[in-house]
Amino acid sequence: MAHVPRLFSAFLPVVLAALGTMAAGCHTPHQCPILQGLTGGRIPAPLPPPGDSYTVVGYREGLRFYVVQYNQMLYRGGDVLSREGADALKALGIKTVIAVTPSDQERALAKECGFALVEIPFGLNDLKKGHLDRFLAAVEKNPGPFYVHCFGGDLRAGILLAHYRMHREGWTLDRALDEYRRLDANYWDALGLVQVLKDNAPR
């Protein structure tokens, strides 16, 4: 029976690929919460296309998924998973981490590595104006550069940066949403977030 685990391992990628195809109507495989749950968040996201308004920094050891630089002071990505991730942030010059999905491990790493840690937790369906206001205030009151993250960096962290684009850089809602979607925000998962962004767009 020793061959059974090896056989299972051999067929697992095929099964996951099939499930990914089934889910393709609303998710790509790396965006599917079921597949990411089965693999512990290990399905890599493809890098987004280059853009005029951002720089794709790419993957860094110890950070979930890839990092994007919005300007000299703002970076966005996924969870800080290890000391290697904290070291990667130090190499980017990060002074403050703004976390939508903070963990005890991240709190310990921030203390150990000398980062300021601002926690603004919210789920996909409970974003409020207060969260957006707290984010803008955090950027104004804390030392930069900043690393803004949620689980993967694309949905919740991305919506905070889209809000920043509009309220601090004078972008239109359409331009902010175009960038948000180019940076891998899944349409179906982001519906509620986008509505809050629209409701709080500059008038």
Q: Report the CATH number at residue 189.
A: 3.90.190.10
What is the pLDDT at residue 47?
87
Domain of residue 102 covers: 44-199
Within this chain, do residues 121 and 181 fall inside the same structural domain, yes or no?
A: yes
**In three state form, how does the secondary structure of 16-47 look?**
HHHHHHHHHHCCCHHHCHHHHHHCCCCCCCCC
The pTM is what? 0.81
Confidence of residue 131 (pLDDT cuts 50, 70, 90): very high
Is residue 26 pLDDT above 80, yes or no? no
**Total residue length of the chain:** 203
Asked if 101 and 151 count as a contact pair (C-beta separation under 8 A), the reply is yes
Asked if 88 and 75 count as a contact pair (C-beta separation under 8 A), the reply is no
More confident residue, 42 or 128: 128
Within this chain, do residues 76 and 154 fall inside the same structural domain, yes or no?
A: yes
Within this chain, do residues 48 and 147 fall inside the same structural domain, yes or no?
A: yes
What is the pLDDT at residue 42?
64
Asked if 94 and 72 count as a contact pair (C-beta separation under 8 A), the reply is no
Within this chain, do residues 57 and 5 fall inside the same structural domain, yes or no?
A: no
Handedness of CA 92, 98, 104, 107 (dihedral sign): positive
Q: What percent of the chain has pLDDT over 70?
A: 77
Within this chain, do residues 167 and 102 fall inside the same structural domain, yes or no?
A: yes
Within this chain, do residues 55 and 6 fall inside the same structural domain, yes or no?
A: no
**In the beta sheet, which residues pair with residue 66?**
59
Mean pLDDT of 2-22: 51
Within this chain, do residues 37 and 129 fall inside the same structural domain, yes or no?
A: no
DSSP run (H or E) holding 148: strand 146-149
Mean pLDDT of 53-74: 95
Q: pLDDT, tens digit, for every residue of 178-203?
A: 999 999 767 677 899 999 999 999 98
Within this chain, do residues 151 and 54 fall inside the same structural domain, yes or no?
A: yes
Within this chain, do residues 37 and 48 fall inside the same structural domain, yes or no?
A: no
Q: Cα–Cα distance between 27 and 11 in angstroms, integer?
A: 22
More confident residue, 190 or 121: 121
More confident residue, 63 or 38: 63
Mean pLDDT of 22-27: 45
Q: Cα–Cα distance between 138 and 24 in angstroms, integer?
A: 37
| Alpha carbon 202 to its chain's center | 24
Is residue 11 pLDDT above 90, yes or no? no
**How many degrees, rounded to 5, is the angle at CA 187 between CA 69 and CA 179?**
30
Confidence of residue 7 (pLDDT cuts 50, 70, 90): low
Q: How many domains does the chain have?
A: 2
What is the pLDDT at residue 21?
42
Within this chain, do residues 37 and 84 fall inside the same structural domain, yes or no?
A: no
Within this chain, do residues 64 and 126 fall inside the same structural domain, yes or no?
A: yes
Q: pLDDT, tens digit, for every residue of 79-116?
A: 999 999 999 999 999 999 999 999 999 999 999 999 99
Within this chain, do residues 16 and 55 fall inside the same structural domain, yes or no?
A: no
